[in-house]
Amino acid sequence: MSRSPHYAASFLYEKPGPRGRRNILIGSVISALVLAAIVGLGLWQFGSHGQLDADKWLPFTEWAIWQYLFVGLGGTLLAAAIVAVLGSLFGAVLALGRLSRLRVLRWLSTGYIEVARTVPVLLLIYLMLFGLPQLGINFPTLWKLVIPLTIANAAVFAEIVRAGILSLPAGQSEAALSLGLRGGQAMRLVVLPQALRNVTPSLVSQLVSLLKDTSLGYIVAYTELLYRGQVLSAFNHLLIQTFLVVTLIYLVFNGSLSALASRLQRPGRRRAPIAVPLPVPGASVPHTEKETHA
């Protein structure tokens, strides 16, 4: 039987009978009331402090404000693009290193991946921002954000690519080798293209996480969305409204990317990518649907 994500839960219960339907109706009414009460309470709290007044929200109907924030979004996208390119290249190299036959390469790559995964990005950013300048090393603002993010994301990309390579049947590289391709050729022409296609959903999900991480640009005062929001709120004193609008922009933008990722993951399409299997202990592949193919 097929379990597409939308009906993932349907196997947990049968089609409800008259009593079941009544219970569901009662449950629906109660939960609707509770949710409405929570939302209402929140709105009342906001309203009683004048946060819902029209003059606090009207500025956000002006195009100039949106233009100002969209410049920030541009900065977010630029930083994310650089990290994505550098991180995925570096990550692919690390993945190949971790699967290499040379023990030294394997140890170096594994060591790097394990270290980079378990150090907070903020610590690296503080090192770039406050630590290295004390030694006379000072990067431009953009790179103070991009370098730490690349260091961290390369490790994650490496694990995703490695999972993709390992998920491929060994027959693929065996066939390539028996056709007379050399190891490198087999990897480049046969294994990697298929492996990357298989892990596209995980790569897109990681892109969302990367876009979220660029909000750390706020700390290094790099012009990205959150930083622009902060500057804007210092100017218009509409803290709640500004941060909610910024949050909404992130939500819409990343939400579309996430939707794309889950579309890519849906089975039944031609050349549909498969989901990455459960990570082996110690690996850090983002957890994905295990049973998209029932």
Partner 1 sequence: MNILSENLGLLLQALGTTVMMTVVAGIGSLILGVLVTVARVSPIPILRAAAFCYVQFFINVPLLALLLLAVFALPDAGLIMPLTPTAIIVLTVYEAAYVAEAVRSGVNTVAVGQVEAGRALGLSLGQSMRLVVIPQALRAVVQPLGNVMIALAMNTALAAVVGVVELTSRVNKVNLVYAQPIEIFTAAGLVYMAIALAIGLAAGRVERKVAIVR
Q: Given the rule CB under 8 A, which residues bind partner 1?
A: 1, 3, 8-9, 11-14, 16, 20, 24, 27-28, 31-32, 35, 45-46, 48-49, 51, 114-115, 117-123, 126-127, 130-132, 134-135, 208, 212-213, 215-216, 218-219, 226, 229-230, 233, 239-240, 242-244, 246-247, 250-251, 254-255, 258, 278-279, 281-282, 284, 287-291
> Which amino acid belongs to residue 113?
I
Contact 274, 287 (CB under 8 A): no
Nearer to partner 1, 177 or 253 (CB): 253
At closest approach, how far in Å is the CB of 85 from partner 1?
21
Q: Are 226 and 253 in contact (CB under 8 A)?
A: no
- Whichever of 20 and 140 has its CB closer to partner 1, that residue is 20
CB 172 within 8 Å of CB 191:
yes
CB count in 10 Å sphere of residue 138: 13
Say which residue the tokens 């991180």 belong to.
87
| 74: exposed, middle or buried (Cβ count in 10 Å: 0-12, 13-18, 19+) | middle
Comparing CB distances to partner 1, the nearer of 178 and 256 is 256
User: C-alpha 210: how far from its chain's center?
Assistant: 5
Q: Of 189 and 251, which CB lies nearer to partner 1 in the complex structure?
A: 251
CA distance 12 to 2: 14
Min. distance of Cβ 170 from partner 1 in angstroms? 24
Instruction: Give whichever of 78 and 127 is closer to partner 1, judged by the CB atom.
Output: 127
> In the bound complex, what is the minimum distance in angstroms from residue 184's beta carbon to partner 1?
32
CB of 89 to partner 1, least distance (A): 24
Tell me how far, at minimum, the Cβ of 93 lies from partner 1, in Å.
22
Q: What minimum distance in Å lies between the beta carbon of 8 and partner 1?
A: 6
Please answer whether residues 261 and 208 qualify as being in contact, where contact means their C-beta atoms are separated by less than 8 angstroms.
yes
Nearer to partner 1, 193 or 255 (CB): 255
Non-local (6+) Cβ contacts of 238 within 8 A are 56, 59
Q: How far is the CB of 4 from partner 1 (least distance, A)?
A: 11
Nearer to partner 1, 36 or 89 (CB): 36
Q: Pinpoint the alpha helices (H) of the chain.
A: 18-48, 54-57, 63-98, 103-117, 121-126, 141-167, 170-178, 183-185, 192-198, 200-213, 217-220, 225-236, 239-265
